[in-house]
Amino acid sequence: MNRLTDLFKIKYPIIQGGMVWCSGWRLVSAVSNNGGLGLIGSGSMYPDVLQYHIKQCKKSTDQSFGVNLPLLYPNIKEHIDIILKEKIKIVFTSAGNPMTYTKLLKDNGITVVHVVANKKNAIKCVDAGVDAIVAEGFEAGGHNGHEEITTMCLIPQIKSLIDVPLIAAGGIGSGAAMLAAMSLGADGVQIGSVFAASKESSAHINFKNKILLANDGDTKLTLKEIVPVRLLKNDFYYEIENAYKQNASKEDLINILSRGRAKKGMFEGDISNGELEIGQISATIDSIKSVKKIITRIINDFNFEKNRLLQFNL
């Protein structure tokens, strides 16, 4: 269809974001089997767990799939060893410097994509020689940029700087949004929240149900002193808010965040005290659907909206 589908050998330019706790082999292979690119969320996996999910994906799909590798992951060298050993062909990196591992991965025949939230990092990506870039806006769930640039404003700016394919992320929940992102210059989209709430997502059912209840304004970008993250407003969030009101230091915030908060919320189902990373588009998610239904609907919407717009001649 376009240079992005050519690059990954997929049918539709739809990538499933490799979100922590949500992106196990069932989700990944379902996305890949339905024409998109599934990404294993290695950021919440021990190395042996990552290897297990890779092997399961290989049994469950003949199509392309990849691994999302946050560069701040502590055991990253072990993850990379597994990625090489298992002959993974596509790696998406984020949360770090693309110069660090891109060459190593590409020297091993891997297609490398890096996620950015501002122009400066897009230029670093170009210097690092990545094969494509994800530009992720302020509205996206999980870890985010400091500058708070929205998808609407970010995509055209990154587009003007790069020649490699551009993938838009943040706020993409429908075929109409995919069309919007491509109007702005993206070659395709990375979708997070909608897949996090899917039937095949490995997230806890409590978290999925909480996503369904989210309304506009129910997520917030916070914890910028540590790493900016967008999450649902729950008891944990209000604990952070109170800490801010009492002039908490970075150390205080780190103590409150502690370890395993995202696992507690997104994987173990403690929706009050866990950290629930999800995007603003969660407000539009009203049921838990299969990946097949999600992707079919996106494609149908995309075509429908495209035809609708044809009539507008200015």
Binding site for its own copies (CB under 8 A): 1-2, 12, 118-119, 137-139, 146-154, 156-157, 160, 170-174, 176-177, 179-185, 215-217, 220-221, 247, 279-281, 283-284, 299, 302-303, 305-306, 309-310, 312-314
> In whole angstroms, how close is the CB of 190 to its own copies at the nearest point?
13
Alpha-carbon distance of 174 to 302, in angstroms, equals 8
Q: Report in angstroms how near the CB of residue 294 gets to its own copies at its nearest.
A: 14
In whole angstroms, how close is the CB of 289 to its own copies at the nearest point? 17
* Nearer to its own copies among residue 74 and residue 217 (C-beta): 217
Do 128 and 103 meet the contact criterion of CB atoms below 8 Å apart? Answer: yes
**Please, which residue, 147 or 235, has the CB nearer to its own copies?**
147
Write down the least CB distance from residue 228 to its own copies, Å: 12
Q: E-strand spans in the chain? A: 14-16, 38-41, 65-70, 90-94, 111-116, 132-136, 142-143, 166-169, 188-191, 219-222, 229-232
Task: Check if the beta carbon of residue 201 is closer than 8 Å to that of residue 195.
Answer: yes
183 touches 155 (CB < 8 A) = no
The distance of closest approach from Cβ of residue 8 to its own copies in the complex, given in angstroms and rounded to an integer, is: 15
Cβ(131)–Cβ(114) below 8 Å: no
CB of 26 to its own copies, least distance (A): 24
**By C-beta, is 105 or 135 nearer to its own copies?**
135
Start-to-end Cα distance in the chain = 27
C-beta separation of 137 from 98 below 8 A: no
Minimum distance from CB of 171 to its own copies (Å)?
Answer: 4
How is residue 64 written in tokens? 């392309």
- What gap in Å lies between CA 286 and CA 292, rounded to an integer? 16
43 versus 173: smaller Cβ distance to its own copies: 173
Nearer to its own copies, 263 or 306 (CB): 306
Q: How many whole angstroms separate alpha carbon 214 and alpha carbon 279?
A: 10
Residue number with CB closer to its own copies (20 or 299): 299
Minimum CB distance to its own copies smaller for 78 or for 305: 305
Q: For the CB of residue 76, give the shortest distance to its own copies in the complex, in Å.
A: 28
Instruction: State which residue, 65 or 302, has the beta carbon closest to its own copies.
Output: 302
Up-side HSE of residue 198: CA atoms within 13 Å toward CB? 29
Buried-state track 151-176, b at ≥16 Cβ within 10 A, e below 16: bbebbeebbeebebbbbbbbbbbbbb
Cβ(72)–Cβ(101) below 8 Å: no
